[in-house]
């Protein structure tokens, strides 16, 4: 059995000032220190990255951005580059979140550049894929997830694929309170792993695949014990330190 360490990542979206981020850490970090069997990452807005990065120093909690540009520098007003994230102490970056794709028009072509650029800078990309409700209703879930994965990973060297994180996030379950059933999540994640396996069999065993979409303390244990699900990308419930801690505890394997 592959030994993939669980990962729970907090996507704070456009929430929390620096002061609020500091208050979260004051509450969360002392309690999270006891969780030895789960990786935890916090993805704050750009403005709070330094606060969270500095606040997490000396803890095991990782820091990631919610977006990143593919170029190192240039005339790209409003964007932030991979080396800038590295300098601030980031471990990774979410790429291709459905809000980036559907609200800001990010395309698979953009992501095909962002994923290797992120990896090339030494950051872990958390690549989000997933179908809309209309696509699921039309029976197109696998077609959509395959298209996204094949396009977004096209320029990643196969021996680097195992080092990325993929988040399967059905768009209809994000921020809606609707959660995929364990069967839906398990099937889509097994399919996601099989597509990675078509590119590289070893990478399919190594790559961590998260579920995202209205994960809460009440449903975390059930979802996260599904075979092949290596953790969660959590939006709304990650804003509260107690709720986020409860989700991390649901997958903590304890000391090894």
In contact, 33 and 84? CB cutoff 8 Å: no
Query: Does the annotation count 97 as an active-site position?
Result: yes
Looking at beta carbons only, is 68 or 203 nearer to ligand PEP? Answer: 68
Select from 39, 110, 131, 169 the one that contacts ligand PEP (CB under 6 A).
Answer: 169
Shortest Cβ 9–ligand PEP spacing (Å): 8
Q: For residue 125, what is the enclosing H or E element?
A: strand 124-129
Shortest Cβ 175–ligand PEP spacing (Å): 4
Query: Beta strand pairing status for 231-234 and 208-212?
Result: parallel
Shortest Cβ 17–ligand PEP spacing (Å): 19
In contact, 45 and 14? CB cutoff 8 Å: yes
Select the span of 14-22, 28-36, 188-196, 234-242 touching ligand PEP (CB under 6 A): 234-242
Select from 111, 234, 245, 248 the one that contacts ligand PEP (CB under 6 A).
Answer: 234
Applying the rule CB under 6 A, the residues between 10 and 39 that interact with ligand PEP are 11, 13
Any alpha helices (H) in the chain, and if so which ranges? 18-32, 46-55, 82-87, 98-102, 108-120, 133-137, 141-152, 182-199, 201-206, 217-224, 241-251
Select from 174, 185, 196, 248 the one that contacts ligand PEP (CB under 6 A).
Answer: 174
Local structure of residue 240 (DSSP, 8 states): S
Pairwise CA distance, residues 250 & 241, whole Å: 14
Locus of tokens 């395959």: 146
Whether the CA torsion 78, 86, 115, 72 is positive or negative: it is positive
Shortest Cβ 86–ligand PEP spacing (Å): 23
- Find the catalytic residue in 99, 131, 135, 169: 169
In contact, 228 and 168? CB cutoff 8 Å: no
Looking at beta carbons only, is 199 or 226 nearer to ligand PEP? Answer: 226
Q: What would the x/- binding string for ligand PEP be over residues 176 to 215, using CB under 6 A?
A: ------------------------------------xxxx
Binding-site ranges for ligand PEP (CB under 6 A): 11, 13, 169, 174-175, 212-215, 233-237
């Amino acid at each position: 059995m592959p030994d993939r360490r669980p990962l729970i990542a907090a996507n704070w979206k456009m929430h929390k000032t620096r002061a609020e981020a500091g208050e979260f850490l004051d509450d969360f970090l002392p309690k999270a220190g006891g969780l030895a069997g789960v990786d935890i990452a916090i993805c704050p807005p750009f403005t709070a990255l330094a606060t969270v990065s500095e606040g997490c120093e000396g803890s095991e909690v990782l820091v990631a951005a919610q977006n990143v540009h593919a170029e190192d520098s240039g005339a790209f007003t409003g964007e932030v580059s991979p080396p800038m994230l590295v300098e601030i102490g980031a471990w990774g970056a979410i790429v291709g979140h459905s809000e980036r794709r559907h609200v800001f028009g990010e395309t698979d072509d953009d992501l095909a550049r962002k994923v290797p650029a992120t990896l090339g800078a030494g950051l872990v990309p958390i690549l989000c894929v997933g179908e809309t409700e209309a696509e699921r209703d039309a029976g197109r879930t696998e077609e959509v997830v395959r298209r996204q994965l094949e396009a977004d990973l096209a320029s990643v060297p196969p021996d680097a694929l195992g080092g990325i994180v993929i988040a399967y996030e059905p768009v209809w379950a994000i921020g809606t309170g609707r959660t995929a059933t364990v069967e839906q999540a398990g099937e889509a994640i097994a399919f996601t792993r099989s597509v990675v396996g078509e590119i590289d069999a070893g990478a399919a065993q190594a790559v961590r695949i998260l579920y995202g979409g209205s994960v809460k303390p009440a449903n975390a244990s059930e979802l996260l014990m599904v075979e092949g699900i290596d953790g969660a990308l959590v939006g709304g419930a990650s804003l509260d330190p107690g709720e986020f801690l409860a989700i991390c505890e649901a997958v903590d394997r304890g000391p090894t």
